[in-house]
Amino acid sequence: MEMYEIERWIREQDKQNANSDILYYLEFDNGESYSDHYTSVDDYYFKTVKEAFDYAMAKGNVLPNIITSFATKGLELIFCNKVSDGDECSYGANSYTTLKILKPFE
């Protein structure tokens, strides 16, 4: 997916959730083989998708992408590790980070 499409998706998400109490966090696959092998990145929470996106892009050597979630069938933002400074992604254990939503209890 092209960067301008990703940026447009980010703007749309932030516009939709501008008046909500939703927080975002980044979760990565830490490579463990047991079922609960995801860890939040730095335990830092973001008010907007744009903040999370900027943090992930500044933090590491990653490429963003929008994919269809296997669980929800909705679109989600992920960051995968670049393969040796190229424009290719490495998928697999310990190679990608996913944007997650934390909704308030009702």
pLDDT bracket for residue 27 (50, 70, 90)? confident
Give the model confidence (pLDDT) of 53-98 as tens digits.
999 999 878 889 998 887 788 889 998 887 765 666 766 656 778 8
- Expressed in angstroms, the distance from the first to the final Cα of the chain is 35
CA distance 37 to 22: 24
Domain spans in the chain, listed from the N-terminal domain onward: 3-102
pLDDT bracket for residue 9 (50, 70, 90)? very high
What are the C-alpha distances in Å from 25 to residues 4, 33, 88? Answer: 22, 22, 24
Pairing state between β 62-68 and 89-90: unpaired
101 DSSP β-pair partners: 24
Average pLDDT of the residues in 27-48: 72
User: Which positions ≥6 away from 43 have C-beta within 8 Å?
Assistant: 25
